[in-house]
Structure 1
């Protein structure tokens, strides 16, 4: 781990004191030429150590992700899936010969994946999603058939796999905002929009959900913290936080259930619109 510039400079000064010929360099002024030289050298060493740290982290990450059979390996293999492409004989890689870079990239339809181990039985849960416009969506039936076959070809013998390719979990929120009437009107609109943001509360919620990693944990208190620092907000209270997920057997969403403190979406991601496109977020503004 990289030392601080001060730590490095102090080690240089300590080494200097060991050499009799350098004892004449005894000024205590930080602006003295010799002290400035030690600072410059310390700064260079500091940046070199940062590079060493970054290199070590990169190597460790590469090793972890290439370890065959690990959760990260399965995740990377899911993201590497190419729809419509054959696997090379006796290999886990696709045959990309005679295809352009654009065609290869377009065939990688799975944009998001997370792999976990089931807690109640010995199997892997592989959650996946693609992108349709600016929204996360499941892949279609034909694509799922090909992806399932692909996993059967590359997975390790004896490993049971469950693919989660669901519509997003529904997220219902009730929020009470104490607004600054100098900044927000009664409908939560910015009186003087900053950067063109007319509804800052809605923008904060959208940004928080977008920042969640795929299969990331939604923490109610963290969302509250983000709302509190939104322009025009004096205080905030989340009065309702519920989620519902798709029942894989019936294909119907289950009833909404309260979110105590946090929740990880069953599908890997959330939507704040119901199946009819109705907004599931209710915001009440008070002064």
Structure 2
């Protein structure tokens, strides 16, 4: 920020005091020649600093983080006409496009910011090009892999949950806004999708003194938890249990705290962990297991299977099947987040009784 004229004058006067040869310039009159020259020089320096400041602002490099800042600062309902009378038009000011919000309250300003989450990325040319390729192949890969394209994922919030921008005009207006402020020549690809689907299967050994498990369901959980080919007798038992479940389902209290059946430590830990993953952040299996391990009454959490897919379109007969990604240690959901309403968690609750095996 440029200094004020008064600040520059003070610095000049402080420097004058250090020069004994200027002690004769001691008139306190506002019209003294030396005082006027100090003011003229200070004003000239101030003008210069203002020009430099403005040029620095205009020439600010538009990094990926700059695009993210602009996205989060988008105001929906703002007319793009600078002559609009509602006071929230998109105007050119101090070397950049800005929303004029002088006639709005802080509440109105925040309510108009519909972009609550944003992630910006691009593909590095070096990752898709082989220096040994011919020139025509290089250019082919350049465009096919969308190198030089800025990818922007955005989402809003509904009922305290991350959600895609599903009002058509909202996304259309946001794309028009980015088109106006982006760097000339840059290609920008904007998406706002439904959250990815996630399905988890876990074996969790729990403290039977803390976690409720109906005794009739224990053998079923144990059979389901076996990560090997079942023997004929075991297969028959499991099939019989599954048939019986049609008439008498598993106890809905299984996995809850004995002292409070409304709290399910495993399920709550999984949901809390997923909610706390930053937008467009990675789902890491080890981090999820660590989060479950810290829950009350949990002894050994084992993540058996992880399946995921992009959001399914209910109007499309050819819905996307879940993909088994258990072997992958971490991955980023395509939409940037998971649909918590579509989350499926299957838990086999097994009493932790290993201590008796040592006796």
CA contact (8 A) 1:172 1:272 kept: no
CA contact (8 A) 1:244 1:253 kept: no
CA 246–162 in structure 1, closer or farther in 2 if over 3 Å, else same: farther
Q: What corresponds to 2:122 in structure 1?
A: 117
Matches within 5 A, 1:100-179: 100-118=105-123, 121-139=147-165, 140-179=167-206
TM-score where L is the length of structure 1:
0.70
TM-score where L is the length of structure 2:
0.56
Displacement after TM superposition at 1:118 (Å): 2.9
CA 69–166 in structure 1, closer or farther in 2 if over 3 Å, else same: same
Matches within 5 A, 1:1-287: 67-85=60-78, 86-89=89-92, 91-118=96-123, 121-139=147-165, 140-186=167-213, 187-193=254-260, 198-246=263-311, 254-259=320-325, 260-274=328-342, 279-287=343-351
CA 273–112 in structure 1, closer or farther in 2 if over 3 Å, else same: same
**Structure 1 regions of 5+ residues with no counterpart?**
1-65
Query: Matched residues in 2 for 1:245 and 1:207: separation?
Result: 21
Query: Matched residues in 1 for 2:183 and 2:204: separation?
Result: 52
Task: State the SS of the aligned residue for 1:83.
Answer: coil
CA 203–80 in structure 1, closer or farther in 2 if over 3 Å, else same: same
CA contact (8 A) 1:197 1:203 kept: no
Displacement after TM superposition at 1:206 (Å): 1.3
Displacement after TM superposition at 1:247 (Å): 8.0
Task: State the SS of the aligned residue for 2:118.
Answer: strand
Aligned residues: 216
Displacement after TM superposition at 1:68 (Å): 3.5
Query: Matched residues in 2 for 1:68 and 1:101: separation?
Result: 29
Query: Matched residues in 1 for 2:199 and 2:319: separation?
Result: 13
Larger Rg: 2
Q: What corresponds to 1:53 in structure 2?
A: none
| Cα deviation 1:28-78 (Å, max 9, x = unaligned) | xxxxxxxxxxxxxxxxxxxxxxxxxxxxxxxxxxxxxx9541011101110
Displacement after TM superposition at 1:253 (Å): 5.2
Displacement after TM superposition at 1:192 (Å): 2.1
| Cα deviation 1:206-259 (Å, max 9, x = unaligned) | 1111111110101011101111221111111111101111489x9775221122
Query: Matched residues in 2 for 1:118 and 1:271: separation?
Result: 26
Query: Matched residues in 1 for 2:331 and 2:264: separation?
Result: 26
Task: State the SS of the aligned residue for 1:267.
Answer: coil
**Structure 2 regions of 5+ residues with no counterpart?**
1-58, 79-88, 125-145, 214-253, 352-359
